[in-house]
């Protein structure tokens, strides 16, 4: 009898979670991406796997249009926080290309270096990250993203979730 009750309870909780996810997928981008909702709440609780799966569902099934570059970046970060470097870098790579470096103005160029530097950290390529930081310091003004790369570099050897200061 106890097993049956437990099984029923698990089924009901599963239905509730699915219903909640369906509701969240119907939110517009500003609500879904707010600090008090959805994937960000899960991330704050350290539930990176659940957060990234919700974010991927939103990108597949959520309201359109939305800032795909922003969501790809956050999806990459969440995969990195969950410890999956391969998936993290896959999503990071969707946020930049060589044209940013060639034609993007200072913002596009620094984003290119930021995304490549973050990928280098996640992939464990310290030399590449160091090279990107040096190049940035010579060519561009330090900003928040530059500071983030230096923080990652100073936390070399730690997992992204620990090295990245939210």
DSSP string, 49-110: HHHHHHHHHHHHHS-SS--HHHHHHHHHHHHHHTT-HHHHHHHHHTT--HHHHHHSHHHHHH
pLDDT tens digits, one per residue of 108-122: 999 999 999 999 999
pLDDT tens digits, one per residue of 60-71: 886 666 788 999
The model's pTM: 0.80
Q: What backbone phi and psi angles, to 5 degrees, belong to 120? A: -60, -40
Residues 109 and 164 in one domain: yes
Q: Is residue 134 part of a domain?
A: yes
Report the number of distinct structural domains present in the chain: 2
User: Which structural domain, as residue segments, surrounds residue 133?
Assistant: 96-166
The confidence band for 51, taking pLDDT boundaries of 50, 70 and 90, is very high
Residues 164 and 108 in one domain: yes
Q: What is the pLDDT of residue 22?
A: 55
């Amino acid at each position: 009898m106890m097993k049956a009750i437990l099984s029923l309870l698990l089924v009901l909780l599963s239905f509730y979670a699915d219903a909640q996810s369906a509701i969240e997928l119907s939110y517009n981008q500003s609500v879904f991406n707010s600090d008090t909702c959805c994937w960000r709440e899960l991330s704050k609780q350290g539930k990176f796997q659940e957060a990234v799966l919700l974010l991927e569902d939103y990108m597949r099934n959520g309201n359109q249009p939305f800032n795909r570059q922003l969501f790809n970046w956050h999806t990459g970060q969440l995969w990195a926080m969950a410890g999956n470097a391969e998936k993290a870098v896959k999503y990071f790579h969707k946020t930049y290309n060589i044209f940013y470096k060639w034609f993007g103005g200072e913002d596009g160029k620094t984003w290119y270096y930021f995304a490549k530097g973050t990928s280098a950290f996640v992939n464990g390529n310290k030399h590449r990250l160091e090279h990107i930081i040096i190049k940035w310091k010579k060519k561009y003004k330090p900003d928040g993203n530059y500071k983030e790369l230096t923080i990652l570099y100073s936390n070399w050897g730690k997992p992204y979730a620990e090295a990245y200061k939210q």
